[in-house]
A and B are shown apart, each in its own frame.
Chain A
Amino acid sequence: EVQLVESGGGLVQPGGSLRLSCAASGFTFSNYWLHWVRQAPGKGLEWVSRINSDGSNTSYADSVKDRFTISRDNAKNTLYLQMNSLRAGDTAVYYCARQSKYGLDWWGQGTLLTVSS
């Protein structure tokens, strides 16, 4: 069964850094593009970033460009999101999601990031 398990969330002070991880299993990880999507408390979904299957191509939402970096380790079946210069507005549940020809067809359960002093 396909599984995506996010980890690494927590409480960080404004201006701080954190790295999220998403461990994948149940499918051939290196064949799929992957995304990070976030959801602030009580708010809607916001697309954050995308990486292609071999990690050579990435894209970012304007709101996180130059602060966040998406990467992957296909040997470890793990997706990452390095987040720097964190702001209160980055507080959200962060989901990783798999992109297939059908769209974002599998999602993890999310990890909560809280940015607060």
Chain B
Amino acid sequence: QSALTQPPSVSGSPGQSVTISCSGTISDVGSYNRVSWYQQPPGTAPKLMIYEVSYRPSGVPDRFSGSKSGNTASLTISGLQAEDEADYFCISYTSSSTFVFGTGTKVTVL
């Protein structure tokens, strides 16, 4: 199972919006809405930010949003803040009853 493809890095100034893509196949992202996104600041465990493509857990700011089109899921951070600087990973359920993570994206706040 190959990792889902994410851009290595994205950046934006405070207040701007950035979008991270997560490209998979018909065997994972394209067939299931079980796509989640995780935020991982350096040296810490991942934190759930989005589940089932577009739902936010309690406590996650509403500037984080998720969507999906075809085999690609996306995470958008609107109104970027300094505290959003971290690595972000997507994960999808697969047709093999396994899970696969994305390659990860480093978000830099300029």
**A positions within 8 Å CB-CB of B:** 35, 37, 44-47, 50, 59-62, 95, 97, 101-105, 107-110
Contacts and interface: CB of A to CB of B under 8 A. Distances in A.
B48 A108 contact: no
A101 B101 CA distance: 18
Given A104-B36, A105-B57, A46 B101 contact: yes
A95 B47 CA distance: 12
Contact of B3 (A35, A37, A44, A108): A44
Contact of A47 (B57, B87, B99, B103): B99
**Main SS class of interface, A:** strand
Contacts of B97: 59
B102 A44 contact: yes
Interface in B42-94: 45-48, 51-52, 55, 57, 87, 89, 91
A10 to B, nearest CB: 19
Contact of B45 (A35, A44, A101, A107): A107
